[in-house]
Homo-oligomer: A and B are copies of this chain.
Amino acid sequence: MAEATPGYELPLQLFAAFRTIIDAAHADLAEAGHPDVKPMHGFVFQAIGARGTTAVELGVRLGVSKQAAGKTIAGLEKQGYVERATDPGDARRKIVRLTAKGIDMLTVSARSFDRIQAQWAETVGPERLAALQADLRALAPGELFRLDVPGWFNGER
């Protein structure tokens, strides 16, 4: 039983699927009043979480340096999605928290991802989707939240 498809199609299919989800979620976000968010911001907000975080912690979660995390935070702060407050218990730390706008974005994107997942479950059947996710987990184990994507895609090996 030889492969029906050349091996290079598999990564392209995976990426196309990823891209399809991101584009759909982005369409939802633009419609819900967040037209200026970039593809990966939803994941960044997910990593920040409702309880807030710090630059160092965010860097660890995203798999990037604390400086890069700091830059990202600065940018999101300028756009009004997060705010920084000093930690009363530790004057070195600055707690990064989502603003109301950021929380709204997180809510919308979470709802959008759920909607897309449900739609996919409807398309191929819930058990097929569950099998797909189980297989993906088996085939690509490890940390899910590696958002050093630009650096990875263009970067060193």
Residues of A within 8 A of B (CB): 1, 3-23, 25-26, 30, 35, 38-40, 42-43, 46, 109-110, 112-118, 120-121, 123-124, 126, 128-133, 135-140, 142, 144-146, 149-150, 152-157
Contact = CB atoms under 8 A, between A and B. Distances in A.
A22 B11 contact: yes
Quickly give the copy total for this chain. Answer: 2
Please report whether the interface of chain A is mostly helix, strand, loop or mixed according to DSSP: helix
Contacts of A135: 124, 128-129, 132
A153 B39 contact: yes
B1 A11 contact: no
Contact of A16 (B1, B42, B123, B142): B142
A120 B7 CA distance: 11
A7 B112 CA distance: 8
